[in-house]
């Protein structure tokens, strides 16, 4: 059996679940903050396998979903004013205040989809007479890829609309919402590959919150839940690492240094969640010439994050599940999404819709 | 979005490596964020290698699970 399949071995899963059942005495609610974790949990039906007194909720772990309408509006404004927007595929369907980048494309805007920021650089080099802006989104996992391209001196006709966000401040926001009653965090594996374990230390120290970094195979998530229960049973709260094959204590220091060189940490708006302190990135002075907002003097006066009725802001903090939203699978579907959570493959609504969930799964 | 997949490094030229993502899917990735060599497995995210996967840790994880689950 290859290693990948071993991490999906039903025999081991059964053993972990049996242990979980014997460990879980009261009701416990754990929160993950990663769209890929939601996919693993939903796709493999992990919620149905866990005992009834264990709930796993999804936090704001989808970078496309939390991208505020104002920042989509900025890209649309640029696209309709002669600049070519380059970005990742999911982003072009995300609703701005009035429309999406896809609709801007239909209105004549030049919008290109790429798999990697390297492709944005290639396209800009290939078409030197055009102006390009890369709409750079993503959490800590993706940030170093932007920073590397900046340090590599991209062509003059390419600037960046930086919409990166940081995960630990969003986790802290959740702990401030008292009635969520979270008992532990399943921390995101690939964000942690970059940042390591230290940035999560605040959760056990200041909030006495057990935190386990987990990988993305079904057994990774199940074992992380087992580790959280074990901490609770032992009366402990600490940061543990289940995903040792891809996460080290210190993380990717080279990547951290590159990011630190290019960006400074600033406050940032999250769709429907408001302004979170020290949760976004902005160019340091030496690199401001790559800032599209500065180059084109982009100014968006007002914006609207949510359509009337849309519950994305509550779904993104795990307060409700998609099936509790009045728009879910009625007027908001994967084919015609109204809220950001239905757009991205990592959005909770889209993941649930793709797996045909019409009732709450427990 | 933070999706990343393991891939085997086949060839290195400067800051770029040709990697095998499985089933013969070969892509070029940027390796400026890691120290890697041919034959190692890297974690690839959006065209960049983010980490050299610790194969020993992968095996140990499975072993450790077996032990914990069998002994408790």
| ipTM computed for the complex | 0.93
Any domain includes A21: yes
> In this structure, what CATH number is given to the domain that contains residue A80?
3.40.50.11740
* Claim to verify: residue A156 and residue A172 sit in the same structural domain: no
Any domain includes A308: no
* Claim to verify: residue A83 and residue A151 sit in the same structural domain: yes
In this structure, are residues A166 and A200 in contact, taking their beta carbons and an 8 Å threshold? Answer: no
> In this structure, what CATH number is given to the domain that contains residue B43?
2.30.30.140
pLDDT band at A361 (very low <50, low <70, confident <90, very high): low
User: What b-and-e string marks burial along A219-231, b requiring 16 or more CB atoms within 10 Å of the CB?
Assistant: bbbbbbbbbbbbb
The structural domain count of chain A equals 3
CB contacts < 8 A (A, B)? 112
The DSSP annotation for A146-196 comes to: HHHHHHT---TTEEEEEEEB-HHHHHHHHHH-GGG---EEEEEHHHHHHH-
Any domain includes A267: yes
Distance CA B61, CA B59 (A): 5
On average, the pLDDT of chain A sits at 95
pLDDT band at A310 (very low <50, low <70, confident <90, very high): very high
Any domain includes A310: no
* Claim to verify: residue A231 and residue A264 sit in the same structural domain: no
* Claim to verify: residue A152 and residue A75 sit in the same structural domain: yes
Answer yes or no: do A12 and B57 touch at CB < 8 A. no
pLDDT band at B63 (very low <50, low <70, confident <90, very high): confident
Element (H, E) at A67: none
Task: List chain A residues with CB under 8 Å of B63.
Answer: none
* pLDDT value, residue B58: 86
The structural domain count of chain B equals 1
Answer yes or no: do B1 and A62 touch at CB < 8 A. yes
Among B32, B50, B57, whose Cβ lies nearest the Cβ of A244? B57
> In this structure, what CATH number is given to the domain that contains residue A19?
3.40.50.11750
Any domain includes A302: no
- The whole domain housing A225 covers 3-63+168-241
* Claim to verify: residue A115 and residue A8 sit in the same structural domain: no
- Over residues A233-254, the mean pLDDT reads 97
- The whole domain housing B20 covers 5-71
* Claim to verify: residue A79 and residue A100 sit in the same structural domain: yes
Answer yes or no: do B69 and A90 touch at CB < 8 A. no
* Claim to verify: residue A113 and residue A195 sit in the same structural domain: no
């Amino acid at each position: 059996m290859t290693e990948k399949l071993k991490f999906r071995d039903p025999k081991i899963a059964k053993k972990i679940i049996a242990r979980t059942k014997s460990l879980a005495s009261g009701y416990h609610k754990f929160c993950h903050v990663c769209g890929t974790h939601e996919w693993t949990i939903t796709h493999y039906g992990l919620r149905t396998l866990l005992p009834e007194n264990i709930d796993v909720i999804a936090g704001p772990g989808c970078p496309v979903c939390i991208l505020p309408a104002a920042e989509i509006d900025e890209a649309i404004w640029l696209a309709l004013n002669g600049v070519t927007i380059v970005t990742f595929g999911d982003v072009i369907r995300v609703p701005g205040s009035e429309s999406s980048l896809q609709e801007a494309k239909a209105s004549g805007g030049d919008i290109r989809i790429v798999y990697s920021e390297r492709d944005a650089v290639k396209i800009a080099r290939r078409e030197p007479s055009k102006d390009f802006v890369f709409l750079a989104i993503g959490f800590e996992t993706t940030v170093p890829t932007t920073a590397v391209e900046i340090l590599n001196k991209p062509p003059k006709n390419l600037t960046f609309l930086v919409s990166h966000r940081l995960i630990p401040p969003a986790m802290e926001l959740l702990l401030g919402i008292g009635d969520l009653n979270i008992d532990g965090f399943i921390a995101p594996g690939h964000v942690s590959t970059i940042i390591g374990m230290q940035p999560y230390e605040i959760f056990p120290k200041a909030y006495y919150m057990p935190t386990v970094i987990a990988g993305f195979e079904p057994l990774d998530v199940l074992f992380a839940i087992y580790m959280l229960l074990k901490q609770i049973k032992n009366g402990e709260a600490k940061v543990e690492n289940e995903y040792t094959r891809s996460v080290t204590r210190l993380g990717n220091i080279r990547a951290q240094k590159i990011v630190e060189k290019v960006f400074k940490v600033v406050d940032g708006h999250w769709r429907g969640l408001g302004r979170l302190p020290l949760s976004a990135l902005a160019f340091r002075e030496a690199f401001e010439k790559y800032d599209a907002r500065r180059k084109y003097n982009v100014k968006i006066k007002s914006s609207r994050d949510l359509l009337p009725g849309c519950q994305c802001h509550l779904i993104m903090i795990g307060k409700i599940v998609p099936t509790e939203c009045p728009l879910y699978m009625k007027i908001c579907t994967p084919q015609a999404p109204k809220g950001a959570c239905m757009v991205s493959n990592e959005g909770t609504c889209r993941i649930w819709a793709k797996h045909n969930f019409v009732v709450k799964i427990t | 979005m933070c999706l990343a997949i393991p891939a085997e490094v086949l060839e290195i030229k400067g800051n770029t490596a040709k990697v095998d993502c499985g089933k013969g899917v070969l892509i070029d990735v940027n390796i400026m964020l890691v120290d890697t060599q041919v034959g190692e497995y890297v974690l690839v995210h959006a065209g960049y290698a983010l980490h050299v996967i610790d194969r020993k840790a992968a095996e140990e994880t499975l072993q450790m699970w077996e032990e914990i689950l069998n002994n408790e």
